[in-house]
Amino acid sequence: MRAAWGLVVLAACGPRPRPPADLSGLACPAPPHVAFEEAQVAAWVATTRQAHPELDGLEIVVRPMRSDKVFFKADIAPGTLLRRPARRRYRVHYSTELFADPPPPDAVVAILDHELEHVRHYTTMSSATLAGFALDYAVGRAARYERATDQHPVAVGCGEGLARYREWLYARLTERQQRRKQVIYLTPDEARTP
C-alpha cells in the first residue's frame, strides 16, 4: 500500500514546467555561421544556449542517435540523476538521419531552444521530482508539458522557426503520427501566434 501512495505522490510531481526567471532581453539567436552538419551540432547548441542564461556553467553534451521519427531530444545522463542539478550531465541528442535532408536553419535553432528549455526544467527538479515527472510523462500526460515548453522559443522570437520545424517534421510522418504531434506540441499556426 505504501508503494502505491509513493507512486501517487511521485505522479503529482509530474510535468509542470517552471517558467524561466526573466525573458526580458532575450532574443531568438541567429543561426551560427557554420553549416548544419554533424561535426557542427555542438556549435549550434552553443549558439542556442544564448537564449538560456540559466544554463551557464552546466555540462551539456551533444550525442548522436538513430531515428527517423524523433530528431532531437534532451535528457540527463543516467549516472548523474542522483546528483544535485548543477552537478548532473545533461544531454541533447540529435538523429543522424537529419543530415540527408535537414530542416531550415531557423527551424534548427527553434527546436534546439525547445530542447534546452527541457534541460532548464530538469535543473529545477530534485531526483524524486524527476522520477515523478518521468512516471507522469510515461503514462501519456505530456501535452500540457510539451506545449508549455514550446512557449519558450515562441516567447524569445523563435516562433516562425518552430512553425517551420513542425512543417518539416510533419512531412516525414504518417498521418496518424502527425495528428499525435499536433495534440502534444504547438502546431505551426499556434507557434506563429504568440
Q: Does 10 fall in a domain? A: no
Q: What is the distance, to the nearest Å, from the Cα of residue 55 to the centroid of all Cα atoms in its chain?
A: 13
Structural domain boundaries enclosing 137: 27-191
Residue 11 lies in a domain: no
- Render each residue's pLDDT in the chain as its tens digit; 194 residues: 454 444 444 444 445 556 666 778 899 999 999 999 999 999 999 999 999 999 999 999 999 999 998 999 999 999 999 999 999 999 999 999 999 999 999 999 999 999 999 999 999 999 999 998 988 888 878 999 999 999 999 999 999 999 999 999 999 999 999 999 999 999 999 999 86
pTM summary value: 0.90
Number of domains in the chain: 1
Q: Is 18 within 8 Å of 124 (Cβ atoms)?
A: yes
Closest CA to 46 of 22, 29, 71: 29
Burial class (CB in 10 A: 0-12, 13-18, 19+), 88: buried
